[in-house]
Amino acid sequence: MEYLVMLPGPTNVPERVTRAMITPSINHRSDDFVELYEECVNNTKKIFETEGDAVCLSASGTGATECSVVNLIKKGDKVIIPVNGEFSGRLAQQIEWAGGQAIKIETEPGVNATFDQVKEAFDNNKDVKAFYCVWNETSTGTMINYLDRIKDLTSRNDSYYVLDGVSIVGGEELHMDKWGIDIAMTGAQKAFACPPGISPICINQRTRKYMEENPPNTMYFNLPRYFKYYDEAKHTPFTPALPVLYAYREAMRIILEEGMENRIHRHRVCSDALYSGLSAIGLTPFAKEDSRSTVVIALNYLDGLEDKTFRDTLAKKFRILVAGGFGNLKGKVFRVGCMGEVNQYHVMRAISGIASTLAMMGYDTDAQAGLKVAEEKLKAL
């Protein structure tokens, strides 16, 4: 029996996507590659909703965020960034390592910075170069829900708006150009339901111009180099991860066949069912209600429940994979992914398996109550 992968990435990969990975290798300086890569670029732009440039980096999501930083941030640049978990903290560190001054809006894990707090940071730093935002803080199960309002702040002094959407693009609503976002990126192994290895990054025209006029001191993550190679030959400057690129193309075909509106609806309904069902069996979400993510559900452990024992039992007895906590939350929470191909079966099996594991470990849980609540929520699909 295969694992049901309910991680916050990597996720379950459709058979079509897995099969695409065994496509025979080609010359990455050939017409065959041009056909492959051009489709990948064009479909990436459709999903991000941008008329700008798209680069399909052979890298992890962290590679994509670092790529944005080294191409945009120079020594002394002020960057506003909300920090409320592991990944937003790492991004702030990347900014500082590039020589930037990270102006952190720090909130406790599970709670998002408010729009008013962001506005106050802009009011107090009129010379800010950029606003960086981790849309979905995977470590705590929180999601920022005012992305469409940020351009009102960045437009004051033409500062740059950069969105880390590594764990959520493809599972939630994104209108890159409409929302005034200058750079956005994601990881293909998350809501795109693709194996790890490709992380697309999109850049609008004014940001491209800045990067070309102020090129970074780096080779592999040098975006102007990627722009040049694509404009001249529809190539990448370095050897791409071809098997994963084939998989990425197929994953996007599936996304566009379903349609983004339908896909977002499915993610939201399944998320609602998981929150409701898991709460009904006695678990409590970690994130504050108005900050909760629709693609990662973080849950507090019941008193006395040992993290590794719980997750190992769930994996061995029920073939279900969930993730533990990071840093200060290690051993205190576990995280359930609700992204990619998530569907009714995944939701019901996850709730049943989690409830049964808790019962095996001596906790009084009502699996039927959780399944009943979830089933009712899933009727919206």
Residues 273 and 252 in one domain: no
Residues 35 and 144 in one domain: yes
pLDDT at 1: 78
Query: What does the alpha-carbon distance between residue 48 and residue 134 come to, in Å, rounded to a whole number?
Result: 16
Residues 245 and 281 in one domain: no
Cα–Cα nearest to 112, from 139, 141, 136, 144: 144
Residues 269 and 248 in one domain: no
Residues 78 and 201 in one domain: yes
Query: What does the alpha-carbon distance between residue 210 and residue 337 come to, in Å, rounded to a whole number?
Result: 37
pLDDT < 50 positions in the chain: none
Q: For position 231, which CATH number holds? A: 3.40.640.10
Residue with tokens 């507090």: 300
pLDDT at 8: 97
C-alpha distances out from residue 95 to 70, 91, 103, 138, 140, Å: 8, 6, 10, 19, 21
Residues 166 and 234 in one domain: yes
Full domain range(s) for residue 144: 16-258
Burial pattern 207-230, b for ≥16 Cβ within 10 A else e, equals bbeebeeeebeeeebbbbbbbebb
Mark which of 258, 288, 304 sits at the end of a domain. 258
The first and second tokens of residue 343, run together, are 């569907």
Mark which of 239, 258, 277 sits at the end of a domain. 258
Residues 247 and 268 in one domain: no
pLDDT at 61: 98
Number of domains composing the chain:
2
Residues 325 and 199 in one domain: no
Residues 243 and 305 in one domain: no
pLDDT at 218: 97
Q: For position 298, which CATH number holds? A: 3.90.1150.10
44 CB-near residues (< 8 Å, 6+ apart): 54, 56, 200, 202, 252
The first and second tokens of residue 317, run together, are 């007895």
Identity at 71, one-letter amino acid code = N
Residues 73 and 117 in one domain: yes
Residues 251 and 286 in one domain: no
197-256 pLDDT per residue, tens: 999 999 999 999 999 999 999 999 999 999 999 999 999 999 999 999 999 999 999 999
Mark which of 207, 231, 258 sits at the end of a domain. 258
26-69 pLDDT per residue, tens: 999 999 999 999 999 999 999 999 999 999 999 999 999 999 99
Residues 49 and 170 in one domain: yes
The first and second tokens of residue 355, run together, are 């409830």
The first and second tokens of residue 278, run together, are 């898991």
